[in-house]
């Protein structure tokens, strides 16, 4: 009677959701401060005061009919102009407001982009470990997902594996840097090699291969360069979200940027408009669009995450854990102390440590640790990690 695929997606509880429910139950049993929940990747620092100020100012000063009225489907022109100018100034890449399409956040940016470009038979490559919803979005858009594992020593791209995965059906590759779940930032060297390989493959197969840059963590980088992909590869489409940079994940606000270097870029942008329309995105939330216009270039105080990263990464590696060096986002990707990450997470639970096994990210034998918490919560959890590794020694 229903779409079985949609029913499955709505019924099957995700691992993270299960841990969330367990955490709630456990907290009620032993107390909030006794449970160390590292499962949820939600910003823990508030939006900057300027966001609140902008909301207040817009509500007092702007005509409510205009403030809460439909914007153009692609987004308010003034806001898109500011975003385009920011991109130009920040990354030195040509950008026009007619190349920016405002969206309801990163998920919408991705589904709209995928639905704009996918035809039956197309394949989309993701680099494991990867955000599990990529599979949901790509398959719903009609694509086959093709998983290529990153190399384990540093979680940069394994080019040999990628090279053999690209074929005549490859329509796009999704790149997420800083990465969820590893926190790794793809280096300039990686990005240059990626561009070279994609250009070579485009030539070989005589077709366009899109690089979809999923960039919600761009501003959460700690002292390293995050190469801006459109500057390296012509057929890059940027899927951006303000969820993490401005701590506004619930507000659903972001954009798609289709640079002029993209092959038939006006057509790609038009297909983006068509896809947005057919999926039911009439426009991005208007008040939040105007707020973004007022807060261009600002971020929450992300130094909090950097401090957490330093404390946590150093402490865990000192204890003897093997952790991928995270240069951004708010995740640590730590090798489980036994082959089965699920079994390891069960043992960790005895110490009230709630970690996410890496299997759902398409990579076995690791756990994701989200450190978007306050510093005190992290330092209080360290003895539990100490006790856990002792059990294995």
In the range 193-232, which residues lie near a copy of itself by CB under 8 A?
Answer: 207-208
In contact, 241 and 254? CB cutoff 8 Å: yes
Site string for a copy of itself, 298-337 (x = CB under 8 A): ----------------------------------------
Q: Token digits for 210?
A: 């899109």
To the nearest whole angstrom, how small is the minimum distance from the Cβ of residue 57 to a copy of itself?
A: 11
Tell me phi and psi for residue 48, to 5 degrees. Answer: -60, 155
Residue 108 binds to a copy of itself (criterion: CB under 8 A): yes
Q: Judging by DSSP bridges, how do beta strands 36-37 and 170-176 pair with one another? A: unpaired
The partner residues of 254 in beta bridges, in order of sequence, read 103, 241
Residue among 282, 296, 343, 389 that touches a copy of itself (CB under 8 A): 282
Q: Which stretch binds a copy of itself (CB under 8 A): 58-66, 180-188, 308-316, 362-370?
A: 58-66
Number of residues that bind a copy of itself (CB under 8 A): 79
Q: State the minimum distance, in angstroms, from the CB of residue 392 to a copy of itself.
A: 34
Q: Is 105 helix (H, G, I), strand (E, B) or coil?
A: helix
Cβ at position 346, least distance to a copy of itself in Å: 26
The CA-atom distances, in angstroms, between 277 and each of 99, 108, 232, 283, 303 are 17, 12, 30, 9, 38
Stretch that binds a copy of itself, among 174-182, 224-232, 264-272, 311-319 (CB under 8 A): 264-272
Q: How far apart are CA 243 and CA 245, in angstroms?
A: 6
280 sits near a copy of itself (criterion: CB under 8 A)? yes
Q: How far is CA 351 from CA 187, 227, 344, 389, in A?
A: 36, 39, 11, 11
Check residue 102 for interaction with a copy of itself (CB under 8 A). no
Q: Helix axis angle, 303-319 relative to 375-392, nearest 10°?
A: 20
Q: Does 283 bind a copy of itself (CB under 8 A)?
A: yes
- Does 180 participate in binding a copy of itself (rule CB under 8 A)? no
Identity of the residue, 172 or 334, whose beta carbon is nearer to a copy of itself in the bound complex: 172
- Scanning 1-9, 310-318, 325-333, 380-388 for contacts with a copy of itself by CB under 8 A, the matching segment is 1-9
Collapsing DSSP to helix, strand or coil, 332 comes out as: strand
Q: Binding to a copy of itself by residue 115, rule CB under 8 A?
A: yes
Binding mask 71-90 for a copy of itself (x = CB under 8 A): x-------------------
163 lines the binding site for a copy of itself (CB under 8 A): no
373 alpha carbon, distance to own chain's centre = 18
User: Contact at 8 Å (CB) between 203 and 166?
Assistant: no
Both tokens of 371, joined, read: 């450190």
């Amino acid at each position: 009677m229903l779409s079985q695929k949609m029913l499955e997606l709505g019924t099957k509880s995700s691992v993270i959701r299960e841990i969330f429910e367990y955490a709630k139950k456990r907290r009620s049993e032993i107390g909030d401060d006794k449970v160390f929940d590292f499962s949820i990747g939600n910003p823990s620092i508030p939006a900057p005061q300027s966001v609140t100020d902008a909301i207040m100012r817009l509500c007092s000063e702007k005509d409510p009919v205009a403030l809460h009225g439909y914007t153009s489907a692609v987004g308010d022109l003034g806001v898109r102009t500011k975003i385009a100018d920011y991109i130009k100034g920040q990354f030195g890449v040509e950008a026009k407001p007619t190349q920016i399409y405002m969206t309801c956040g990163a998920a919408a940016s991705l589904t709209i982009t995928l639905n704009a470009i996918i035809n039956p038979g197309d394949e989309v490559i993701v680099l494991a470990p990867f955000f599990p919803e990529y599979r949901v979005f790509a398959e719903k858009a009609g694509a086959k997902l093709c998983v290529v594992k990153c190399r384990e020593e540093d979680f940069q791209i394994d080019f040999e594996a990628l090279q053999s995965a690209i074929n005549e059906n490859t329509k796009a590759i999704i790149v997420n840097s800083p990465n969820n779940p590893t926190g790794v930032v793809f280096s300039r060297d990686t990005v240059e090699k990626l561009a070279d390989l994609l250009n070579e493959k485009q030539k070989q197969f005589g077709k366009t291969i899109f690089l979809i840059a999923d960039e919600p963590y761009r501003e959460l980088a700690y002292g390293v360069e995050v190469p801006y992909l459109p500057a390296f590869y012509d057929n890059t489409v940027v899927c951006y979200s303000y969820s993490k940079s401005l701590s506004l994940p619930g507000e659903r606000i972001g954009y798609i940027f289709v640079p002029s270097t993209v092959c038939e870029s006006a057509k790609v942008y038009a297909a983006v408009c068509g896809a947005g329309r057919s999926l039911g995105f009439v426009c991005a939330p208007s008040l939040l669009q105007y707020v973004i216009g007022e807060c261009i270039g600002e971020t929450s105080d992300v130094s909090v995450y950097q401090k957490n990263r330093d404390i946590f990464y150093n402490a865990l590696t000192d204890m003897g854990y093997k952790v991928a060096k995270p240069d951004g986002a708010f995740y640590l990707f730590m090798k489980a102390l036994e082959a089965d990450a699920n079994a390891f997470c069960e043992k960790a639970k005895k110490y009230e440590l709630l970690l996410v096994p890496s299997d759902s990210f398409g990579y076995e034998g690791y756990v994701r640790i989200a450190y978007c918490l306050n510093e005190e919560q992290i330092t209080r959890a360290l003895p539990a990690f100490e006790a856990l590794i002792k059990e294995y020694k």
